[in-house]
Amino acid sequence: MGIKQRHERDREAVRRAILDAARDLFVSEGYQNVSLRKIAERIEYSPAAIYGYFSSKDDIFFALAEEGFRLLGDAQSAEAADARQALPPLERLRAIFWRFYEFSRQHPQYFALMFVDRAVPRIGREYERFAFVREMKSHLAAEIRQCIKHGLLPETIEPHVVLRLMTMGLFGVVVMRLSDRLGPSENADLLAEDILNVTLAGLRSGVAIKSTGTAECLFDEQDTDLQAS
């Protein structure tokens, strides 16, 4: 290994240590309660030296958020993605939202930081950096339109409302699990599955939806807020 490659490897190792320490601290102590100095102390590094990797605490958060969204979108293998594409439209939609729930189980710290802590900055401040998140939203909307096209969902329903209702339902289960608010006999996985099934059944039944026209979903292009609200 050459000197340049070793230098790049060492820099990446320090950058990784900063991100891991920041993620742990942001989740355990709350974003607004963590300083660059506290992150530096965690990795036994000088606060001034962190500026060689990140310009601010917000910059560290944006790097973590980008990692989290890429994990959410790219974690499945090519084989799993192909298998999902072979499903009927409604089952494919269900599988996509189930992947969202699985992300919360596989990466609870990222989920808590991205979707629960309200003190974090909005990713709309880094609009271009998170263009791929808007692409994720567009893909989800296209899948919902396929369900409408095949008569599996009412023609009158708006795709962004479906996104909003299904993500909010799953959010409830995830937050209850992450905050240890479920009863000893309750199974979060089964609750999440029930939420998906009941929400889809309600939407398919043609029940009147009052939140049409104004709802902004998780990946809205105008705001791109990380929180559900």
**Domains with residue ranges and CATH for the chain:** 3-55 (1.10.10.60), 63-204 (1.10.357.10)
Q: How confident is the model at residue 150 (pLDDT cuts 50, 70, 90)?
A: very high
Q: How confident is the model at residue 119 (pLDDT cuts 50, 70, 90)?
A: very high
Report the alpha-carbon distance of residue 140 to residue 217 in Å, rounded.
Answer: 11
Q: Fill in the amino acid letter for 139.
A: H
Nearest to 161 by CA among 95, 219, 216, 220: 216
Q: Does the pLDDT value for residue 203 go beyond 70?
A: yes
Residue 14 phi/psi, 5° resolution?
-70, -45
**Which of the two residues, 77 and 25, has the higher pLDDT score?**
25
Mean pLDDT of 104-120: 93
Mean pLDDT of 176-194: 96
Report the alpha-carbon distance of residue 226 to residue 121 in Å, rounded.
Answer: 8
Chain centroid, CA 106 distance in Å: 12
Q: Does the pLDDT value for residue 111 go beyond 70?
A: yes
Using CB atoms within 10 Å of the CB of residue 214, give its burial: 0 to 12 exposed, 13 to 18 middle, 19+ buried: exposed
